[in-house]
Amino acid sequence: MNNNQTLDPIAEQYKLYSAMSIRIATFLGTPIAAGILIRKNYVMLGDEDKGKNALIISIIATLGLFVVLYFIPESMMDRIPNLVIPIMYMTIVHYYVQSTFDAALKKHEANGGAFYSGWRAAGIGLLVSAILVPAIFLYAYYGPQDFDAEAYDSGIERFQKNEEEALAVYDMPEDLSAVDFIRETGIPLWEENIEITQELDKIEGLYPEYIEQNKILREYSEIRVESYQLLEKAIIEQTSKYNRKLELLYSKIDATLADL
């Protein structure tokens, strides 16, 4: 029997996206790109309702992904390699396609049916990405914010200005002028910084990572107050007996700054 006689003439009239093509599109264009290709396959196989549902699910999944990523602290995101997340959702889509389309795709191929090229799938993935990236950028910079970022930034600027002014003590000679500076300027500025972090904590809707940052800045300021009090005693008494304690406090300061 001639092999051509076993081919399905209907299968030859339409194209499908292969599992590999769907994976490529997913990697380049998020689950939404996968949803577009999967919907096309469903439509070609005569089940438009399932195709519509698949596209809706892909959109919801992508939005959910962005929401999750949005709330992951930046310090944690920095430790995650760039390829991990795309590979993760590409793997999920792969298993979905394998469980739902594997038999249909194999049958289509056996019947002589054609497939869209991987380049076409890649193009769709890149097109989806080209639409999503500017949209995310615009939302991040111009969309509604969950907390008063301007008030937070203003508080941090005050904190940094106080810090810069208070640290001037280390450029001064260790005499009574330094003592006066510590009492009248240095310690009050660090105590004001403690109050600033407490005020920042009260900003409605402040993200957990910023609250944690405020806590670290508060601890840093408290250690500074302690170190200034000890430095004042050392200058007044003209002694080096507090040097070891000061070194320990400075080590704590370095460790606290490293946490930031």
Backbone angles phi and psi of 104, in degrees to 5: -65, -40
pLDDT at 135 > cutoff 80: no
Cα angle for residues 77, 217, 178 (degrees, 5° grid) = 145
Query: Looking at residues 152-156, what average pLDDT do you find?
Result: 94
Strand 15-16 and strand 114-115: the pairing is parallel
Residues in the chain: 260
pLDDT tens figures, 113-126: 889 999 999 999 99
Query: Looking at residues 72-77, what average pLDDT do you find?
Result: 71
For residue 72, the model assigns a pLDDT of 75
pLDDT at 209 > cutoff 50: yes
Q: How far apart are CA 56 and CA 35, in angstroms?
A: 8
pLDDT at 9 > cutoff 70: no
Residue 36 · residue 128 · CB < 8 Å: yes
For residue 81, the model assigns a pLDDT of 83
Packed helices 48-71 and 84-110: angle between N→C axes, nearest 10 degrees: 170
Strand, helix or coil at 16? strand
Q: How far apart are CA 90 and CA 84, in angstroms?
A: 10
Weakest mean pLDDT among 14-18, 161-165, 221-225: 14-18
pLDDT at 31 > cutoff 60: yes
Residue 144 gets the label, from left (phi > 0), alpha (psi -120 to 50) or beta, of beta
Q: What amino acid occupies position 54?
A: A
Instruction: Identify the band that residue 71 occupies on the pLDDT scale cut at 50, 70 and 90.
Output: confident
For residue 5, the model assigns a pLDDT of 42
Residues 6+ apart with CB under 8 A from 43: 51
pLDDT at 1 > cutoff 50: no
Please state the domain extents for the chain. Answer: 9-142, 149-259
For residue 77, the model assigns a pLDDT of 73
Residue 27 · residue 86 · CB < 8 Å: yes
Query: Looking at residues 152-169, what average pLDDT do you find?
Result: 95
Query: Across the chain, what does the average pLDDT equal?
Result: 88
pLDDT at 27 > cutoff 70: yes
For residue 4, the model assigns a pLDDT of 43
**Greater pLDDT, 43 or 133:** 43
pLDDT at 205 > cutoff 70: yes
pLDDT tens figures, 178-198: 999 999 999 999 999 999 999
Q: Give the closest residue to 115 by CA, choosing from 225, 12, 246, 224.
A: 12
- To the nearest whole percent, how much of the chain has pLDDT over 70? 90
For residue 70, the model assigns a pLDDT of 75
β-sheet bridge partners, residue 15: 114
For residue 136, the model assigns a pLDDT of 72
